A = this chain, B = another copy of it.
Amino acid sequence: MRSLLLTILLFPLAASAADRARDLGIPFDGTPGRLNAITDVPGVTVGHSTIIADYPNGSAARSGVTAILPRGEDSLFLPVFGGSAVLNGAGEMTGTIWLEASGFLEGPVMITTTQSVGMVFEETIKWRVNKAERDVTGYAWSDPVVAETWGGRLNDENGFYVHGEHVAEALESAKGGPVEEGNVGGGTGMVCYQFKCGIGTASRVIETADGEFTVGALVQANYGWRDILRIGGAPVGQEMPVQQAADVRTPMDDEMGSIIVVIATDAPLLPHQLKRVATRAGLGIARVGGMASNGSGDIFVAFSTANARELRAGTNLTAGFLGNENISPVFTGAVLATEEAIVNALIAAKTMTGFNGNTVEAIDHEQLQNVLRKYNRLDEE
């Protein structure tokens, strides 16, 4: 099928700086970091590889890979403490069995489309092997964290269009600074609340008894049906009903949805504390109306970039950590950053036509503002 390739468009349809929820006057609680992105947590880098192509046989790729590196280039050699959580388990995040046992997240978090988990798993290992000086004993053991959401409305999932070059591109292009949102990377073909969706990010600066820290979230959002959507507490989904139900929603749509949430913080936390942080992503989803329906893979991972020196293998290790009584601001930050990241994904995404000629409309910003205004929930200066 690949030999029949007619056109390949390999560029990001990234959101412009203006396309963020806050810029539209959508209200959120808490104080965002400078970029309002997961990269506000120092050291975290994000890269995307976006695959958009149409084939003469009718197949279409609207897919990609997103890579989050907890310590940027050092991630391969210096782990972070991490934890994971599942709200609804209709999905895959590899590597979590070892993450839970060890407490360590070793390497990047990769997010892609459902049928490409295997390829991304394989190619992430190969990328890692190539990065390392070849070990003379032939030793290597790798169990990368690879997660997915199902893009089959716009992407031909059985085209298996993600390859090693895309994995490498996502990993090699990872950087700090502003993060592209919407139709990029693993989020390219994603849909939430029956609007076009994809990648979103946000952050919160929190105050604790141990000082100020940052909590960032990045989501690949692909879940939910229209009616349940809430933004800023307003019943946006009910006010912006689906116009052409038959065209935009199939019976399987809400069942195939999923959301992957990655939470990063520089607050020093132990693995069992990070598991608690990961769990909070579900509360952020609920604030946007999410119901974690049967077919949704709502799977979360959280990590802390603190303790960089302390986590090198060796003896007499020590780790700093927040006392439990000081941890609640991290939880609140994770909830609020997840909520805003989802809305950012919705706002940044652009209308897309893909597989089988299916079109999924982006949410109309002006119409959304009107709804929020109706409910006195639009921040207008």
Contact = CB atoms under 8 A, between A and B. Distances in A.
A160 B127 CA distance: 12
B89 A98 contact: yes
A193 interface: no
A221 to B, nearest CB: 16
Interface stretch (A41-49, A100-108, A195-203, A345-353): A100-108
Given A121-B117, A328-B291, A138 B88 contact: no
Contact of A129 (B98, B142, B158): B158
A266 interface: no
Contact of A293 (B89, B250, B286, B332): B332
A322 B125 CA distance: 27
A195 B235 CA distance: 26
Contacts of A355: 138
B321 A318 contact: yes
Interface string A20-51: 00000000010000000000000000000000
B315 A318 contact: no
Identify the interface centre among A104, A143, A235: most chain B CB within 10 Å of its CB: A143
Kindly report how many copies of this chain are found in the complex they form together. Answer: 4
Contact of A97 (B86, B104, B141, B233): B86
A89 B101 contact: yes
A247 interface: no
A176 interface: no
A71 interface: no
B137 A141 contact: no
Given A140-B157, A319-B319, A323-B315, A101 B123 contact: no
Given A270-B272, A271-B271, A283-B291, 20 more contacts: A89-B100, A90-B98, A101-B272, A114-B142, A118-B124, A134-B158, A137-B250, A138-B158, A138-B356, A228-B332, A270-B271, A272-B275, A282-B286, A283-B286, A283-B290, A294-B327, A317-B323, A318-B319, A375-B376, A376-B376
